Amino acid sequence: MSLKEKLLNSTSFTRRTFLKGASVAGATAALYGCGGGGGGKTYMEEDTTVEVPKITERVIAGATPHNCGGRCQSRYYVKDGVIKRIVTDEKPDLPIGGGDDPQYRSCVRCRSRKEWFYRKDRLMYPLKQTGNRGDVSTLVRISWDQAFTEIAAKMADLKTRFGAKAFHSIYSSGDASGWARNSLNRLLSLYGGYTSYYTNYSFPALEHVAKFVDGATEGTPAGNGRQDAVNAERIVLWSYNPHETVFGTNTAWYLQQAKEKGIPVIAVDTRVSKAVATAADEFINLMPCTDAALLLGMMYHLLTTRYADLDIASIDKYCFGFFDNGSTLIRSDVDAVNYSVPAGGSLSAFILGNENTLVTAGRNNATSIYPNTIGYNVNATDPLYGKTVKIWGQAPKTPEWAEKITGVPAAKIRELANMYLDYKVTTWIGGGYQRHTESEQAVWLNRIFSVITDNWGQFGASSGRNSNNVTATLPSDSMSAGITNAVNLTSNIYAAGRLTSPLAYVPTAQRGNIPVFVVPDAVDNMGTTNSKWNDGQVKHLPEAFGKAIFAAGGNIMVNQSGDINYNLNIFKDKSKAELIVTFDHFLTPSAAISDYILPSTMQGEKPGSANAWGTGEACIRMNKVHDIPGEVMDEYSICAGIAEKLGLETTYLAGYPKGQEGMEARIKAGWDAGNLSAKYGMSYEEWCEKGIASLHKSYTPAQYFIKFKAFRDNPTASPLLTPSGKFEAYSMNMMEDYEARYHENIDNTTTDAGGVATLYNAGTIYSRYHGASTGRRYVYPIPMYIPTIEGRHAIDTVNPTDAMAHDDPLGCNAKGYTYTLHTWHLMYRSHSTLANVAYLNENFKKDIHGNLTYLDPNRNFRDGVWDDNVYEPIWLNPSDAADLGLAEGDRALIENDRGKMYVSVVLTQRVPKKIIYIGQGAWEKKNAQGIDVGGSANSVITARPSRICKGMTSANDSRVKITKA
């Protein structure tokens, strides 16, 4: 009897035997819903009567992680050198309290890698551009020796003319093994150095704000370990979608563990994400980019109706600047006279506006000094010059005020605020709510809200990116040992004399580097004292910056950066960046504008190790599972080849062998040097065989990691690394850092709505650079709600003439750009990684007739990924579709001043009116008319950086027109 017949005739089967036999045709449909039956066997009991197919392939444990938050295990079935199938971690789950060791299961991204290895458009040999950048017809095949020789010669020429500041290692995150960036940066370091960048594309405001509000060495606003969620009384997912973004392997599993203990889960989000759909008991839907208004409305309710229930002493003890009074410093090395909160300058004063109840209560010395509008620190030629938007500095931020902005009913705002005050709440935050032009404000307010409601530093109560209970150590590859990694630009771009506080409380990265999102502006304007965005650091850059750009496993230059056409114009200009070298597997849009394209190994074609985003309690082994095809070379060997031509090969190799033998030897040496066999209880060889070394164990709830516990227990002995030593609701340090980055912060261009050119109530704000000034600012020392440049308010749809309607400083409405484009991280790509994998894309992309389409995996690399008849889907509200004359599957044209793109329409009630949702990461490809048919949202998204940290805004802050095509 065949296995299929045995399964079909069995009266009982188990999950394990079913999964073992699931490859039998029809097994899923025939059996998965059946219950246990005769013979006394239960549903989950082992059935030894079924013959399991014999595995004839070699099974290799490994991983092929992307720049998603997960670092998951894959198991490769390989026969005759060919990957036959990919499965994942199959060990038993051990629940919280019973081992705390879940499976490190990979999702469809890693399991689709088989086609990625074998696509016909893979780059198999080095390419050189002999014509204009971006012209794929003039790319020619060259040898590795020619590539090494010519790249080294160009590097030597640039170094002679400009010095090491000419070399820039651009942001790239496509190779999670680390070999691409580590090998490149070692090479550049040995050659004298290179310029780097500040923060990243994903979490710029989260990282910037945390370093000033939580402490200079903090990475992002962080909360307790994931396991601690079971100690909470409520869990809030704030702009948090771990089911698709995979925010740490198994985060969704931990969430489910908490749900099974009966803890209610509330989602605050702009979209019905997978996390909302599968985990939330309640969904609070708000307009994109309005989270700060929601938080202010909640705080107003607590400061008025629930004031008697606030722990004022605790707020004063742990938070600086929430009130005018009680804001003392823990630290003695800071100028307490000048580092102080002015009358009416505290966050609570801003929240109450012109109401004086806190003045009467003695908590504040004056009502709000903040104006009703704010301007933009831009060039005179910028369309925002002289424009303002409302910030309601004199208005009370009531729940009714917040309702018109966010769309969340005032009663629900009060209910949510009460919940935070009355229960222990664990809030897990994501990154989506800080991807817009005013990104810093909501991040800042979220941290302060956690402090005033006492949801921090204790069991079951925290707010931030969830942490790991223990941290797994990866074996060092020693690539950066003893190397000065970067050229420091502090003397060019940072004026430390503008700071009141000591440098110890100012994060170091932005002193010597520019924000990653303004690199195109920097390459365009280096050495000219100009900046498209009036960025003070860019205007002070030396001419050398970005003369040579090296991209090691990234698609940032064009595809993943806002405003593709703006970037293309800069990077195609050989008088600016004179050399662009890219390591990649495919001819991505960014690789296509390079001078040299070097085909590099995929993960799975080289050894390595990986750990998840901030939640890694296991060291994942990345075994080699696939032979390197064609002339493809690993990045360690590529950089060794260039090093040889520069006379640096011996120093670069440091006694290790060349090639993958040397890579393996470096990892083994790092394992031994870190004594990791003792840490993990297994040998190096066992780790390679099992593919995972875990630190999970059976914790008690009292053993979970609690962020800021030492500060809470004894703030004097363990102050935060801020000038006050506390969480900072009033951060003069953040404002002064903005000024130290050469930004003029006094607004001499605009006035308030009533013609007021100064602060209210004779208020003054001190900074060392500007002194005690009454002038309006572009950046203030407190968080507030600032409407995004191209956003919308909830009231706009109901009554666009209402006083609370969204300001429109760029005139988007008059241009017909009446829809907000909103992007998210979706399941069938990881940023732009896997954008050319048909297995995934053909389930979503549609052809010109609205039909799901087969995507040919046999295309030549010069053909691009998709033709002009296959389109990325957008989500559109049916009511909007009726107004536009659009039906399901129609091809639509999305456009604005920045570009045009074709898309395919999907109708769903999960989208509010006047908003369009599209997944980010698709590869841009223009047709003959210059319209993007690849589906890259960045064709129409702004490249304007955020107000304070100059971070990426490519997600929620772009207005477009949509018409039937």
3-class secondary-structure state, position 820: strand
Q: Using 50, 70 and 90 to split pLDDT, how confident is the model at 46?
A: low
Rounded CA Rg of the chain: 28
Helices (H), 214-290: 242-245, 251-260, 274-279
Measuring CA to CA, which residue among 917, 831, 839, 930 is closest to residue 872?
917
User: pLDDT tens across 649-687, in order?
Assistant: 999 999 999 999 999 999 999 999 999 999 999 999 999
Measuring CA to CA, which residue among 260, 244, 254 is closest to residue 844?
244
Strand spans (E) along 687-763:
692-694, 727-728
Looking at residue 9, its pLDDT comes to 39
Q: What whole-number distance in Å separates Cα of residue 696 and Cα of residue 470?
A: 8
Q: What whole-number distance in Å separates Cα of residue 939 and Cα of residue 558?
A: 10
Query: With contact defined as beta carbons under 8 Å apart, do 718 and 708 qualify?
Result: no
| Side-chain-side CA neighbours of residue 510 (13 Å) | 37
The number of beta carbons lying within 10 Å of the beta carbon of residue 503 is: 11
Distance (Å) of CA 836 to CA 378, 554, 599, 839? 39, 15, 16, 9
| Exposed / middle / buried, residue 528 (Cβ in 10 Å: 0-12, 13-18, 19+) | exposed
Mean pLDDT in residue range 605-611? 92
User: pLDDT tens across 375-431, in order?
Assistant: 999 999 999 999 999 999 999 999 999 999 999 999 999 999 999 999 999 999 999
Q: Which amino acid is at 820?
A: T
Please determine, for residue 238, whether its predicted confidence score (pLDDT) is greater than 80: yes
Give the residue with greater pLDDT, 334 vs 9.
334
Q: Using 50, 70 and 90 to split pLDDT, how confident is the model at 112?
A: confident
Looking at residue 33, its pLDDT comes to 27
**Helix/strand/coil (H/E/C) assignment for every residue in 856-922:** CCCCCHHHCCCCCCEECEEEECHHHHHHHCCCCCCEEEEEECCEEEEEEEEECCCCCCCEEEEECCC
User: pLDDT tens across 550-566, in order?
Assistant: 999 889 999 989 999 99
Arithmetic mean of pLDDT over the chain? 91
Angle between helices 635-645 and 144-162 (to 10 degrees): 60
Looking at residue 28, its pLDDT comes to 29
Please determine, for residue 623, whether its predicted confidence score (pLDDT) is greater than 50: yes
User: pLDDT tens across 444-487, in order?
Assistant: 999 999 999 999 999 999 999 888 888 889 999 998 876 766 78
User: pLDDT tens across 698-745, in order?
Assistant: 778 788 999 999 999 999 999 999 999 999 999 999 999 999 999 999
- pTM value is 0.93
Looking at residue 442, its pLDDT comes to 98
Please determine, for residue 5, whether its predicted confidence score (pLDDT) is greater than 70: no
Which residue has tokens 């000048």? 338
Looking at residue 35, its pLDDT comes to 29
3-class secondary-structure state, position 303: helix
Please determine, for residue 13, whether its predicted confidence score (pLDDT) is greater than 60: no
Looking at residue 47, its pLDDT comes to 57
The number of beta carbons lying within 10 Å of the beta carbon of residue 476 is: 18
Q: Using 50, 70 and 90 to split pLDDT, how confident is the model at 130?
A: very high
Please determine, for residue 189, whether its predicted confidence score (pLDDT) is greater than 90: yes
End-to-end CA, the chain: 57
Percentage of the chain modeled with pLDDT above 90: 75
Distance (Å) of CA 162 to CA 17, 186, 510, 512, 551? 66, 20, 22, 18, 20
Please determine, for residue 51, whether its predicted confidence score (pLDDT) is greater than 80: no
- Beta pairing partners, 266: 236, 282
Mean pLDDT in residue range 609-614? 82
User: pLDDT tens across 272-284, in order?
Assistant: 988 999 999 999 9
Q: What whole-number distance in Å separates Cα of residue 776 and Cα of residue 764?
A: 9
Q: What whole-number distance in Å separates Cα of residue 170 and Cα of residue 238?
A: 31
User: pLDDT tens across 818-847, in order?
Assistant: 999 999 888 888 888 888 888 788 888 888
Mean pLDDT in residue range 605-615? 85
Please determine, for residue 53, whether its predicted confidence score (pLDDT) is greater than 80: no
Pairing assessment for the beta strands 765-767 and 771-773 based on DSSP bridges: antiparallel
Mean pLDDT in residue range 751-757? 93
Q: What whole-number distance in Å separates Cα of residue 431 and Cα of residue 391?
A: 23
Looking at residue 482, its pLDDT comes to 64
Looking at residue 495, its pLDDT comes to 97
